[in-house]
């Protein structure tokens, strides 16, 4: 420690220890061609000995840039978003960025606060999975920063923004079709609060029913939060309404998890007495008992694709809007 105990070790300390100037230290840290190998080794050894840690915020102060990307998701309690995050982080890390994660729990107030805080941090950009009910104004604010950003999952009907989403309608269409092909006719759609994504998925459900000429009277829907608890309660509700229910198409996997728990509790074997399908294909889906039939959109790959979109936007700010839509795939396991 010596002369500098209690303070941070700075480039200046490294410089005097190695017997060079701070300018040289800076160049060594950037692995500049201008510095001889001998000097580089000397400086690096001093860095090692003093335990010097590069101060990125000082560099940021000087250069007006940051290597932190704000990633804001609306429901971190859903493992789906954790997998998406892993995909994002993996891709951004390759290009030297770090991720600043925030969870809004679907609260617009928290989203506003988090966005403000990201801005205060001076992040290099933002990737946002908007809260339910996000207003246009919030996005216009974001746009006015002139920082690269992409929207994920919900586009909010915003033109001119980069967007990474899924073919929702096709996904639930595939799940519903699977049940219809198995001969089920008394079907229900379970979960989801009014939103663009919910509407698209519901539309896919209806489209399949129409194709198989299932009468309006034969199907049900029950709307609510995309949670395990709602799936659990929701299935009870549906079975009270329609004891002869044959299949449930769920808004997402965790709703399906809840529904399966409820079915088992009520003595209806999932996949035998009642069909259940999810949406997302989170990892836990395959280890459920019985393994969940679901729609895979590869959350990890989706996250990587969204990050790629962000990187491209950052590299080319004036480029026209880009959209990535992940294609859903039906993954047949045991529950449908």
- Does 55 bind DNA (CB under 7 A)? Our answer is yes
The CB-of-234 to DNA minimum distance in angstroms stands at: 48
Picking from 156, 32, 148, 155, the residue whose alpha carbon sits closest to that of residue 92 is: 148
Q: How far is CA 61 from CA 55, 56, 66, 265, in A?
A: 10, 8, 9, 59
* Nearest-angstrom CA–CA distance, 249 and 294: 9
Note whether 63 binds DNA by CB under 7 A. Answer: yes
For 170, how many CA atoms within 13 A lie in the half-sphere containing its CB? Answer: 11
* Smaller CB separation from DNA, 18 or 250: 18
Q: How many residues bind DNA (CB under 7 A)?
A: 29
- By C-beta, is 11 or 71 nearer to DNA? 11
At residue 215's C-alpha, the angle toward residues 210 and 218, to 5°, is 115
Binding flags for DNA, 101-140, as an x/- string (CB under 7 A): ----------------------------------------
- Residue nearer to DNA on the CB measure, 9 or 277: 9
Q: State the minimum distance, in angstroms, from the CB of residue 45 to DNA.
A: 14
Query: Between 54 and 217, whose beta carbon lies closer to DNA?
Result: 54
Q: Is 182 in the site for DNA (CB under 7 A)?
A: no
Angle CA 75–97–304, to nearest 5: 55
Which among 6, 10, 4 is positioned nearest to 29, based on CA atoms?
A: 10
Q: Which of 50, 59, 108, 261 contacts DNA by CB under 7 A?
A: 59
Closer residue to DNA (CB): 53 or 266: 53
Whole-number minimum distance, CB 117 to DNA, in Å? 13
DSSP string, 160-210: TSEEEEE-HHHHHHHHHHHHHHTT---EEEE-B-SSHHHHHHHHHHHHHHH
| Given 3, 51, 54, 317, the residue binding DNA (CB under 7 A) | 54
By CB under 7 A, tell whether 29 contacts DNA: yes
Residues in the chain, how many? 336
Comparison of 32 and 286: residue with beta carbon closer to DNA = 32
Shortest distance, position 263 Cβ to DNA, whole Å:
56
Return the residue of 2, 6, 31, 36 that touches DNA, per CB under 7 A: 36
Rounded Cα distance, 326 and 6, in Å: 52
Handedness of CA 149, 155, 160, 164 (dihedral sign): positive
Instruction: Provide the minimum distance between the beta carbon of 103 and DNA in the complex, in angstroms, as a whole number.
Output: 26
When binding is defined by CB under 7 A, the residue of 4, 49, 61, 332 that contacts DNA is 61
The Cα–Cα gap between 103 and 253 comes to 19
Residue with tokens 């104004």: 137
Per CB under 7 A, residues contacting DNA are 7-8, 10-12, 19-24, 26-27, 29-30, 34-36, 38-39, 52, 54-55, 58-59, 61-64
């Amino acid at each position: 420690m010596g002369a500098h105990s209690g303070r941070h070790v700075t480039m200046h300390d490294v410089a005097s220890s190695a017997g060079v100037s701070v300018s040289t230290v800076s160049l060594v840290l950037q692995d500049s061609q201008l510095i001889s190998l001998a000097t580089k080794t000397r400086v690096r050894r001093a860095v090692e000995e003093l335990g010097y840690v590069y101060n990125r915020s000082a560099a940021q102060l000087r250069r007006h840039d940051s290597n932190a990307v704000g990633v804001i998701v609306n429901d971190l309690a859903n493992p789906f978003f954790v997998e998406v995050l892993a995909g994002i982080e993996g891709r951004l890390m390759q290009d030297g960025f770090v991720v600043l994660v925030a969870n809004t729990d679907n609260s617009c107030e928290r989203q506003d606060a988090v966005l403000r805080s990201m801005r205060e941090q001076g992040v290099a950009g933002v990737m946002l999975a908007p809260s339910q009910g996000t207003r246009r104004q919030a996005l216009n604010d974001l746009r006015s920063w002139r920082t690269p950003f992409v929207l994920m999952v919900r586009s909010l009907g915003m033109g001119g923004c980069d967007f990474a989403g899924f073919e929702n309608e096709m996904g639930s269409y595939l799940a519903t079709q699977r049940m219809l092909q198995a001969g089920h006719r008394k079907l229900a759609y379970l979960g989801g609060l009014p939103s663009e994504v919910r509407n698209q998925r519901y539309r896919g459900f209806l489209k399949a029913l129409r194709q198989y000429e299932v009468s309006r009277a034969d199907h049900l829907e029950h709307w609510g939060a995309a949670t395990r608890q709602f799936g659990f309660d929701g299935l009870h509700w549906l079975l009270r309404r329609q004891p002869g229910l044959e299949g449930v198409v769920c808004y997402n996997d965790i709703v399906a998890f809840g529904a399966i728990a409820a079915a088992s509790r009520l003595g209806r074997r999932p996949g035998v007495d009642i069909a259940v399908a999810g949406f997302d294909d989170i990892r836990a889906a395959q280890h459920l008992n019985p393994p969940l039939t679901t729609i895979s959109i590869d959350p990890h790959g989706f996250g990587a694709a969204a990050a790629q979109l962000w990187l491209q936007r950052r590299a080319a700010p004036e480029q026209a809007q880009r959209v990535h839509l992940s294609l859903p795939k039906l993954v047949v396991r045991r529950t449908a």
